[in-house]
Structure 1
């Protein structure tokens, strides 16, 4: 029998639920909250966060702004920006994250953190951007930042899942950096 040359791929055993649990734990420890504005993920970030027991102490809610006009009306994304760049853009993701903080405000207080996701899950390109192009925004009282463009390969559901993983990982990184500590796992 001939020897087979196996090639192993390093993989993380961390799951999406693990990342979401870390996020909720970090938010709860800091007595902070999060609001979400989603486009291509269609509520997947919110679903993932609310799957964590105790999420109600930190997760306020969110907006699925799939239609472009809702990004302007509900999240205050600049119409001029959208006309100039389209909705698949870093600044749109950052403004969506800021809009998420404000859309989930009550008692005169916005959510501490906001997440915004925008991109192309497929099957067709949009605004001249190919399928798999994604931008993620994170906002806090100190300001907002966007990451991307990411190029997530695969079918529609894989692009959406990769976006959720990346968005929650970016928030976890920001929370960890802000607390000045190591990543926690609940």
Structure 2
């Protein structure tokens, strides 16, 4: 698990720029994506689906804003949530794994899953400060979590920073596989 604090501006790329590049890389590699979001409340899915042609790679996802839905819909361990709360690296990882699992279609496994969990504010949650975020990504070679990020700013800035970071992290992981 990596710890990154505070967020450093990478470039002037917009959310749409990153999402467009990610969709292209997923298409080129013949790979698919499922998403499970909490604090971003569908923002990752909206960013992906804003790109023309995203339907060839994006399978769907779930917004598990309420903590019990993380367990019920995504299979996040209830004992983990009881012990650590919903804002935790292992929760993000299990959300990503759940996103990947629930978006399988007729035995065709979804290649990647993203999970986002954190505190966008205005108040703390589970004794975790506003701006604390974890991102999980599940893929063919296993599952990783990044965080805790400590994103500064107001609610929407924290959510946007999380979306950008999640898309960027997956873009780094996607390997282009040559088509026959």
- Equivalence for 1:123: 122
Distance 2:33 2:10 in 1: 29
| CA apart distance, 1:76 | 0.4
- Equivalence for 2:35: 36
Could you list the runs of 4 or more consecutive aligned residues of structure 1 that deviate by over 6 angstroms after TM superposition?
none
TM-score by length of 2: 0.91
Shift in alpha-carbon separation, 1:64–1:155, aligned structure 2, 3 A? same
- Equivalence for 1:59: 58
2:28–2:176 CA contact under 8 A, matched in 1: no
2:36–2:63 CA contact under 8 A, matched in 1: yes
Matched, 1:114 2:113: yes
Shift in alpha-carbon separation, 1:56–1:89, aligned structure 2, 3 A? same
Distance 1:56 1:179 in 2: 18
- Equivalence for 2:49: 50
Q: How many aligned residue pairs are there?
A: 170
Q: Which has the higher contact order (CA 8 A, sep 6+)?
A: 2
- Equivalence for 2:69: 70
Greater radius of gyration (CA): 1
1:103–1:110 CA contact under 8 A, matched in 2: no
Distance 1:118 1:82 in 2: 12
Q: Secondary structure at 2:52's aligned position in 1?
A: coil
Distance 1:113 1:17 in 2: 19
1:39–1:119 CA contact under 8 A, matched in 2: yes
Distance 1:14 1:67 in 2: 31
- Equivalence for 1:86: 85
| CA apart distance, 1:142 | 1.6
2:18–2:168 CA contact under 8 A, matched in 1: yes
2:26–2:176 CA contact under 8 A, matched in 1: no
Q: 1:125-145 CA distances to partner (integer Å, 9 max, x unpaired)?
A: 001100000000000022100
**41-50 vs 13-22, greater mean Cα deviation:** 13-22
Q: Secondary structure at 2:134's aligned position in 1?
A: strand
Shift in alpha-carbon separation, 1:23–1:149, aligned structure 2, 3 A? same
Distance 2:83 2:134 in 1: 16
The unaligned stretches of length 5 or more in structure 2 are 1-8
Q: 1:7-43 CA distances to partner (integer Å, 9 max, x unpaired)?
A: xxx8723111110011100100011000000000000
Shift in alpha-carbon separation, 1:11–1:29, aligned structure 2, 3 A? closer
